[in-house]
Amino acid sequence: MERLTSCWNCGKNTEQIHFCGSCSSLQPPATNYYDFFGFEHRLNLDPAALEDRFYRLSRRLHPDVYFRRSAREQQFSLDATAILNDGYRTLKNPISRAEYLLKEKGITASENGRQPPPELLEEVFELNEMLEELRQGDDSLRPQLEEAEQRFLKLRDEIDCRLQVEFELYDASGDRSRLLEVRSLLSRRRYIRNLIEEVERELVGA
């Protein structure tokens, strides 16, 4: 994303992120993670490029580099380092990255107070009940618990496959309706993730 601001130090306009194009002084950091790392606002992102930029920026923005510079630049460097770490963690994981992009586009998890589809709730409720029954049983039910875990993992994999498809469709088209699809997949995924955590806790404890 292009941005044109005037440098706090020399007053010239600069299009660059992080450093002024004229006097190369450190600029206030971009607060948007995509802008900070210089990526297009897309759902898919090359992990190698992200890592590369993360390490490069870590070195260039590190507070140690600025300890002899102005108080302003020292503060920018501290701010930038915080955004660098949070942004890297958020963008690295495809799920948190998608959640971040959705939020940026004003799409909230709760579908504006609307309830998730009843079929999903019924299904999740039934899966939870099944899990509860298995948990109340003795050790002989362990194979069934393991089977349930496999089933949940398979459901999660299916969601991840569908998410991947939606990621590509959105990136190619910029179509907002794809983001709504991503939201409902992410919401479904959170329910399934809870089930996986539950069953794993049970298997470890059993």
Query: How far is residue 180's CA from residue 128's CA, in Å, rounded to a whole number?
Result: 26
Q: Which stretch binds another protein (CB under 8 A): 4-12, 34-42, 143-151, 186-194?
A: 186-194
Query: How far is residue 34's CA from residue 151's CA, in Å, rounded to a whole number?
Result: 35
Which one among 109, 165, 172, 206 touches another protein, defined by CB under 8 A? 109
Residues 118, 93, 157, CA angle at the centre, nearest 5°?
50
Question: Nearest distance from residue 113's CB to another protein, in Å?
Answer: 9
Count interface residues toward another protein (CB under 8 A). 21
E strand or H helix at 13, and its extent? Answer: strand 13-14
Which one among 22, 24, 44, 128 touches another protein, defined by CB under 8 A? 128
Q: How many CA atoms lie within 13 A of 180 on its CB side?
A: 7
Question: Nearest distance from residue 148's CB to another protein, in Å?
Answer: 14
190 binds another protein (CB under 8 A): yes
Of 82 and 109, the one with the shorter C-beta distance to another protein is 109
Which one among 95, 124, 130, 141 touches another protein, defined by CB under 8 A? 124
191 binds another protein (CB under 8 A): yes
Q: Which stretch binds another protein (CB under 8 A): 45-53, 64-72, 136-144, 191-199?
A: 191-199
Residue type, 112: N
Query: How far is residue 138's CA from residue 143's CA, in Å, rounded to a whole number?
Result: 11
Of 53 and 188, the one with the shorter C-beta distance to another protein is 188
Q: Which stretch binds another protein (CB under 8 A): 22-30, 89-97, 127-135, 142-150?
A: 127-135
Helix orientation angle between 94-104 and 71-92, rounded to the nearest 10 degrees: 120
Burial (CB count <10 Å: 0-12, 13-18, 19+), residue 80: buried
Q: Which stretch binds another protein (CB under 8 A): 41-49, 53-61, 64-72, 105-113?
A: 105-113
CA dihedral (165, 171, 173, 174) positive or negative:
positive
110 binds another protein (CB under 8 A): yes
Query: How far is residue 24's CA from residue 114's CA, in Å, rounded to a whole number?
Result: 49
90 binds another protein (CB under 8 A): no
Contacting positions for another protein (CB under 8 A): 109-111, 115-116, 118, 120-122, 124-125, 128-129, 132, 186-187, 190-194
